[in-house]
Amino acid sequence: GQNIDQPTEMTATEGAIVQINCTYQTSGFNGLFWYQQHAGEAPTFLSYNVLDGLEEKGRFSSFLSRSKGYSYLLLKELQMKDSASYLCAVRDKGKAAGNKLTFGGGTRVLVKP
């Protein structure tokens, strides 16, 4: 099975940087995903890491360390519209697992002016 932990809530100021940590313990691993979910809306894909290291995509970056079972999502130059929940998810290994994702509880980020 999978166990995924991330903080429940974080607050940051507009223009600042916030780092959301995610730790996982898994029986199999085939990639870690970050999704953004605004209140009342569907999750939208942000990033995918399967190898160790940093993946940068505009203001958002995601890091993975497989040996430590650890990832973080870095949000730079925060904007008010970044207020949302950020979901860490792990994909199982194995063909039968397909794209099945196990999600953490989500981190609600509140951006203040």
Partner 1 sequence: GAGVSQTPSNKVTEKGKYVELRCDPISGHTALYWYRQSLGQGPEFLIYFQGTGAADDSGLPNDRFFAVRPEGSVSTLKIQRTERGDSAVYLCASSSDGLAGGNYNEQFFGPGTRLTVL
Binding residues (CB under 8 A) for partner 1: these are 4, 31, 33, 41-45, 48, 87, 89, 96-106
Question: Least distance (Å) from partner 1 to the CB of residue 76?
Answer: 22
CA distance 49 to 99: 14
* Min dist. Cβ of residue 98 to partner 1 (A): 5
By beta-carbon proximity to partner 1, the closer residue of 14 and 52 is 52
Residue with Cβ nearer partner 1 (1 or 113): 1
CB of 92 to partner 1, least distance (A): 9
Rounded Cα distance between 113 and 105, Å, is 26
Nearer to partner 1, 33 or 72 (CB): 33
Question: Is the sign of the CA dihedral 49, 2, 25, 87 positive or negative?
Answer: positive
Q: Check if the beta carbon of residue 107 is closer than 8 Å to that of residue 84.
A: no
Taking the complex as a whole, how short is the minimal distance between the CB of residue 21 and partner 1, in angstroms? 15
**Tokens 């970044």 belong to which residue?**
82
Closest CA relative to residue 82, chosen from 59, 102, 98: 59
Residue closer to partner 1 by CB (options 19, 44) is 44
- Which ranges of the chain does DSSP label H, i.e. alpha helix? none
